[in-house]
Amino acid sequence: MEYRRLGKTEEQVSILGFGASPMGDVFEVSDEQDGIRGVHYALDHGVNFFDVAPFYGLTLAETRLGKALEGKRDQIFLATKCGRYGLQDFDFSYDRILKSIDESLLRLKTDRVDLIQLHDIEFVEKSQVLNEAIPAIHKIIESGKARFWGITGLSVRYLAEIARQTNPDTVLSWAHYNLLEDEINTELVPLSKKMGFGLMNAAPLLQRILSDQPLPAWHRSPQPVKDTQPKLLALCNSYGVKLSDVALRFAMDHPDIATTIIGMCDLATVTQNISVLDFRIPSGLLEEIEILVAPVKNQMWFEGREENNL
**Residue 177: active-site member:** no
Q: Is the dihedral of CA 178, 252, 141, 60 positive or negative?
A: positive
- Which has the closest alpha carbon to 116: 159, 150, 67? 150
Query: Choosing from 56, 85, 158, 177, which is the catalytic residue?
Result: 56
Contact (Cβ atoms closer than 8 angstroms) between residue 296 and residue 61: no
CB contact set of 52 (below 8 Å; sequence gap of 6+)? 20, 21, 23, 61, 62, 65, 79, 80, 81, 108
**Dist. CA 185–CA 130, nearest whole Å:** 25
Active site residues: 56
